[in-house]
């Protein structure tokens, strides 16, 4: 890699720090929304809970992953914009400032995927590109002043399509019939129909969106390779369990939208957090041993202790959702509190393992093991750009940088 690109890659560290700050601030805001007595920090923090978690944390992390893989200078503008959005929200700047930065960041993501699709046009890259478009639409609607309940499912679609696009790539190993791909396309079309209707008549729009989410859950449970890899051991089994449980939470979120479709209250909370916690955060838990070494360039080994934060997340989420559905505020609050503890435990376990690996000075051996596991399980990165793109990037780097 050239000296210029080496200097450029250093940008990943402050951007990852901004994503981490966004997640911590979002969790603090979430606890405030749950009714726990904490200092508010800024008056608008509770309103920033969703934007901080979706765009500030997940949007920055996912776009940074793309940028690290492709390593083109202009692409850093996307995670930089969402990273700046974190600080805009946390210092209490007007909502329009944060929303504008989110729009710029998601527009940058769409531009990145235009490059990715041109490099490797395939159903999975197109699916993930549609996810970026959904994120952009949601952010534009937020900039226009629409309430969160009308746009949050656009943000959800961004994460659903990003994750399922990568899973579609891996489904090739299962040799799924062509009819399954036709069904997959139909589900995406149904999802966008539901999202579009939310802006016109939100009740049927939500229910159609819920049907699409339930159908996507069923598709993943039927055709994803995790059905096979869960029978293995170690990191392979850990990732597969995270996937399968996450798929169930996605279906649960769809069912809650179909049955209730509310704009506020406990059942609305249940529909949101089965998706964003059970499905999305569960995926992050499962793939962290792969994405973090790739993004940070530091070693990380799988440890059975990872099951502690995995179990705590899903048990506490089940408690929270039970409280939502039966109207028990105590269960809702304590379940939400332990949701936060699960994420903090995940961060602790992750940092501890990475520090231990670096102290052992086994970077070369660990990187080789993680790379081999990653290639056989879930692709190269968390939400997978695809092996073909990685090969093109590597061959291009060798050709362009003889130094």
Which of 188, 181, 282 is closest to 226 using CA atoms?
A: 282
Most confident range, picked from 116-125, 200-209, 261-270: 116-125
Q: What is the pLDDT of residue 142?
A: 92
* 377, pLDDT greater than 60: no
Instruction: Report the range of poorest mean pLDDT among 31-40, 102-111, 260-269.
Output: 260-269
Nearby residues of 328 by Cβ (< 8 Å), 6 or more positions away: 322
Summarised one tens digit per residue, pLDDT across range 98-147 is 999 999 999 999 999 999 999 888 888 999 999 999 999 999 999 998 88
pLDDT band at 193 (very low <50, low <70, confident <90, very high): very high
DSSP one-letter code for 71: -
Cα 313 to Cα 302: distance, rounded to the nearest angstrom: 18
Tokens 């080496």, residue located = 6
Instruction: Report the range of poorest mean pLDDT among 280-284, 301-305, 351-355, 366-370.
Output: 366-370
Contact criterion met (CB below 8 Å) for 100 and 84? no
Task: Give me the mean pLDDT over the 11-24 stretch.
Answer: 89
Longest dimension (CA), the chain: 64
Higher pLDDT residue, 363 or 217? Answer: 217
Residue 358 in tokens: 């670096």
Summarised one tens digit per residue, pLDDT across range 346-364 is 999 988 888 877 776 554 4
End-to-end CA distance of the chain: 7
Domains and CATH numbers, the chain: 3-400 (1.20.210)
* 166, pLDDT greater than 80: yes
Which of 245, 232, 325 is closest to 283 using CA atoms?
A: 245
Mean pLDDT value across the chain = 84
* 8, pLDDT greater than 80: no
**DSSP string across 75-134:** GGHHHHHHHHHHHHHHTT--HHHHHHHHHHHHHHHHHHHHHHHHHS--HHHHHHHHHHHH
Which of 108, 51, 54 is closest to 78 using CA atoms?
A: 108
Contact criterion met (CB below 8 Å) for 108 and 67? no
pLDDT band at 342 (very low <50, low <70, confident <90, very high): very high
Higher pLDDT residue, 281 or 369? Answer: 281
Tokens 């490059």, residue located = 115
pLDDT band at 25 (very low <50, low <70, confident <90, very high): very high
**DSSP string across 210-259:** HHHHHHHHHHHHHH-THHHHTTS-HHHHHHHHHHHHHHHHHHHHHHHHHH
Distances (CA, A) of 346 to 169, 284, 311: 27, 10, 11
Q: What is the pLDDT of residue 172?
A: 67
Q: What is the pLDDT of residue 7?
A: 57
Cα 188 to Cα 174: distance, rounded to the nearest angstrom: 21
* 305, pLDDT greater than 80: yes
Higher pLDDT residue, 71 or 323? Answer: 323
Higher pLDDT residue, 263 or 125? Answer: 125
Q: Dihedral (C-alpha) 218, 221, 223, 225: value to the nearest 10 degrees?
A: 160
Cα 373 to Cα 233: distance, rounded to the nearest angstrom: 11
Contact criterion met (CB below 8 Å) for 52 and 29? yes
* 394, pLDDT greater than 50: no
* 297, pLDDT greater than 80: no
Distances (CA, A) of 161 to 4, 22, 345, 384: 34, 22, 27, 12
Length of the chain (residues): 403
Instruction: Report the range of poorest mean pLDDT among 272-281, 341-350, 359-368.
Output: 359-368
What is the radius of gyration, based on Cα positions, of the chain?
Answer: 20
Confidence (pTM): 0.85
Most confident range, picked from 127-136, 202-211, 381-390: 127-136
């Amino acid at each position: 890699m050239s000296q210029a690109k080496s200097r450029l890659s250093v940008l990943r560290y402050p951007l990852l720090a901004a994503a981490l700050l966004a997640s911590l601030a979002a969790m603090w805001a979430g606890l405030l929304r749950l009714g726990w007595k904490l200092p508010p920090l800024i008056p608008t923090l509770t309103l920033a809970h969703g934007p901080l978690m979706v765009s500030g944390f997940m949007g920055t992390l996912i776009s940074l992953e793309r940028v690290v893989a492709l390593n083109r200078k202009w692409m850093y503008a996307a995670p930089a914009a969402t990273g700046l959005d974190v600080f805009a929200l946390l210092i209490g700047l007007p909502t329009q400032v944060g929303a504008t930065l989110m729009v710029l960041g998601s527009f940058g993501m769409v531009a990145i995927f235009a490059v990715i699709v041109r490099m490797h046009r395939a159903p999975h890259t197109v699916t993930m590109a549609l996810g970026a478009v959904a994120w952009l639409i949601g952010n534009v609607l937020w900039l226009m002043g629409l309430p969160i309940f009308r746009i949050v499912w656009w943000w959800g679609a961004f994460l659903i399509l990003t994750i399922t696009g990568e899973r579609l790539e891996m489904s090739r190993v299962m040799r799924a019939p062509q009819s399954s791909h036709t069904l997959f396309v139909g589900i995406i079309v149904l999802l966008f129909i539901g999202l579009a209707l939310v802006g016109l008549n939100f009740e049927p729009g939500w229910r159609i969106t819920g049907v699409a989410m339930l159908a996507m859950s069923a598709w993943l449970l039927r055709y994803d390779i995790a059905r096979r890899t869960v029978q293995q051991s170690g990191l392979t089994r850990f990732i597969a369990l995270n996937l399968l449980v996450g798929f169930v939470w996605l279906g649960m979120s769809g069912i809650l939208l179909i049955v209730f479709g509310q704009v506020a209250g406990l059942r609305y909370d249940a529909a949101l957090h089965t998706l964003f916690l059970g499905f999305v955060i569960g995926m992050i838990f499962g793939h962290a041993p792969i994405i973090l070494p790739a993004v940070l360039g530091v070693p990380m080994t799988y440890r059975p202790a990872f099951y502690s934060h995995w179990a705590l997340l899903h048990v506490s989420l089940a408690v929270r959702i039970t409280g939502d559905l039966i109207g028990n505020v105590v269960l809702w609050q304590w379940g939400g509190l332990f949701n936060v503890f699960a994420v903090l435990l995940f961060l602790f376990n992750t940092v501890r393992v990475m520090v231990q690996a670096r102290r052992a000075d086994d970077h070369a051996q660990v990187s080789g093991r993680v790379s081999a596991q990653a290639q056989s399980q879930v692709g190269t990165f968390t939400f997978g750009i695809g092996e073909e793109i990685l090969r093109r990037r590597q061959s291009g780097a060798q050709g362009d940088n003889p130094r």
